[in-house]
């Protein structure tokens, strides 16, 4: 199959969507499918890429590490004419997601949308953040999903949430798979030595984009409390972002800076080495649709301590491959870390085996099988309903007009719902 993927983030951007897109693209190509990726330009973008179209973009939008794409030239249409896509897959509902809708409608192709993100958790990057704006982005994503032929939800909890929000398009649970072979081996001892972490330390690790929506202030406070109770414990943080300063400040205030290690962004094989340097993986985000770093950690045999939240509860089994905490308190998180740190080696071995079994259930070949099976069904339906060549140009024009109309309707409906919600409390006030 020829698959075109459109995403507002892609490598070298560090984040779950970019990593998901990279993983699936590599797996599809390995199986003989052609994949074209349409994504914004980022700083340090590789000079040579295969089947990747970069769209000019505004960098570091509003202080974030995201790019915002600029209007698209006719180059994309000409390239797609040569590529001859059979499936259009959008990874966001806005910006290039709207472009994906136009392409699918104009070319009469099936449109797939992966609902990677709880968008209402990211409105703090937009000037004028408000409850109305958060409601708007939820409605916009819902309206967009209902314009698609197939929606992928990264986890069961997100699939349920989409149904609750009014998504009536078919929804399939397709997590981003973990590349087991990438994380099965790693030089944890060498990584510790290079960083200066003692061989006998109990290392709590965290990896990801260091941003406010990841609940990192709470995580840092909880891990710091654990370090205060265990003189052999250290905290290894892999990644970068605006919350790095908060983490440093918390550890400085408690006099624990000498046991805080920030490595910055790592790539393979150093990324695998970092996971293997950890004894436990700590995760406090409540905004995930799927905790990809959790399956990566488990693929390295590292148990996870995390808060019970969407995208997490499908992976972490409390008491089996880690701890899943329903209580968001510093003491509960500290005690869960103590629970692992004080285990006998045999008990830790059982946690490691369970973590590896969980990671295998989320392996990339398994999840790619699910996605490709959905593509095949959609593609066969498209072939059965194909129109005669003589009407193609006229039909394409009508579909493009309909796509524009659907975009206008979806945005208008989302805005109307948001403002109606905002006005309701005012109307109910006594005069």
158-205: per-residue pLDDT in tens? Answer: 999 999 999 999 999 999 999 999 999 999 999 999 999 999 999 999
Claim to verify: residue 170 and residue 252 sit in the same structural domain: no
pLDDT at position 124 over 70: no
Claim to verify: residue 258 and residue 396 sit in the same structural domain: no
Claim to verify: residue 165 and residue 221 sit in the same structural domain: no
Please identify, among 314, 336, 361, the residue that sits at the C-terminal boundary of a domain. Answer: 361
Phi, psi of 343 (to 5 degrees): -70, 150
Phi, psi of 300 (to 5 degrees): -90, 5
Claim to verify: residue 350 and residue 368 sit in the same structural domain: no
Claim to verify: residue 327 and residue 381 sit in the same structural domain: no
Claim to verify: residue 291 and residue 247 sit in the same structural domain: yes
Claim to verify: residue 289 and residue 386 sit in the same structural domain: no
Residue span of the structural domain in which 220 resides: 196-361
pLDDT on residue 391:
43
In a domain, 41, yes or no: yes
Instruction: Flag the least confident range among 85-89, 177-181, 288-292.
Output: 288-292
Claim to verify: residue 50 and residue 90 sit in the same structural domain: yes
In a domain, 421, yes or no: yes
Claim to verify: residue 56 and residue 109 sit in the same structural domain: yes
- Beta strand 233-238 pairing with 202-207: parallel
- CATH number for the domain that contains residue 148: 3.40.50.2000
Instruction: Flag the least confident range among 12-26, 253-267, 357-371.
Output: 12-26
Claim to verify: residue 349 and residue 267 sit in the same structural domain: yes
Confidence label for 127 from pLDDT (cuts 50, 70 and 90): low
The answer to whether 67 touches 40, Cβ cutoff 8 Å, is yes
Please identify, among 333, 361, 389, the residue that sits at the C-terminal boundary of a domain. Answer: 361
Confidence label for 64 from pLDDT (cuts 50, 70 and 90): very low
Confidence label for 403 from pLDDT (cuts 50, 70 and 90): low
pLDDT on residue 48:
82
- When divided into structural domains, the chain yields a total of 2
Higher pLDDT among residues 2 and 380, named by residue: 2
Claim to verify: residue 355 and residue 368 sit in the same structural domain: no
In a domain, 430, yes or no: no
């Amino acid at each position: 199959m020829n698959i075109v993927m459109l995403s507002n983030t892609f490598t070298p951007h560090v984040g779950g969507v970019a990593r998901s897109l990279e993983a699936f693209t590599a797996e599809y190509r390995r199986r003989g499918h052609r994949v074209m990726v349409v994504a914004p330009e980022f700083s340090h973008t590789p000079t040579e890429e295969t089947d990747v179209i970069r769209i000019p973009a505004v960098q570091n939008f509003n202080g974030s590490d995201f790019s915002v794409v600029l209007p698209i030239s006719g180059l994309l249409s000409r390239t797609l004419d040569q590529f001859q896509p059979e499936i259009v897959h959008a990874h966001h509902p806005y910006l290039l997601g709207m472009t994906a809708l136009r392409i699918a409608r104009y070319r009469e192709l099936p449109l797939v949308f992966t609902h990677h993100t709880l968008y209402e958790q990211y409105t703090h990057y937009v000037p004028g953040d408000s409850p109305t704006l958060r409601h708007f982005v939820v409605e916009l994503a819902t309206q967009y999903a209902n314009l698609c032929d197939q929606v992928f939800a990264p986890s069961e909890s997100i699939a349920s949430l989409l149904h609750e929000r009014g998504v009536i398009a078919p929804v399939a649970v397709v997590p981003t798979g973990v590349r087991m072979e990438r994380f099965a081996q790693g030089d944890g001892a060498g990584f510790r030595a290079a960083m200066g972490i003692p061989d006998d330390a109990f290392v709590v690790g965290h990896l990801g984009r260091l941003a406010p929506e990841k609940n990192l202030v709470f995580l840092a406070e909880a891990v710091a409390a654990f370090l205060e109770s265990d003189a052999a414990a250290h905290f290894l943080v892999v990644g970068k972002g605006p919350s790095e300063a908060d983490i440093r400040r918390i550890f400085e205030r408690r006099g624990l800076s000498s046991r805080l290690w920030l490595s910055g962004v790592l790539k393979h094989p150093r990324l695998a080495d970092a996971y293997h340097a950890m004894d436990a993986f700590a995760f406090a985000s409540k905004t995930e649709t799927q905790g990809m770093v959790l399956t990566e950690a488990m693929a390295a045999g590292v148990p996870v301590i995390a808060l019970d939240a969407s995208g997490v509860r499908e992976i972490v089994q409390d008491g089996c491959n880690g701890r899943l905490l329903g209580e968001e308190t510093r003491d509960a998180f500290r005690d869960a870390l103590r629970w692992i740190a004080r285990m006998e080696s045999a008990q830790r071995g059982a946690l490691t085996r369970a973590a590896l079994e969980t990671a295998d259930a989320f392996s990339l070949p398994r999840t790619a099988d699910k996605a490709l099976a959905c593509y095949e069904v959609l593609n066969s339906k498209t072939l059965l309903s194909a129109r005669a060549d003589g009407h193609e140009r006229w039909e394409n024009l009508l579909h493009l007009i309909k796509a524009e109309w659907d975009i206008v309707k979806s945005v208008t409906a989302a805005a109307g719902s948001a403002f109606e919600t905002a006005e309701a409390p005012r109307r109910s006030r006594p005069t």
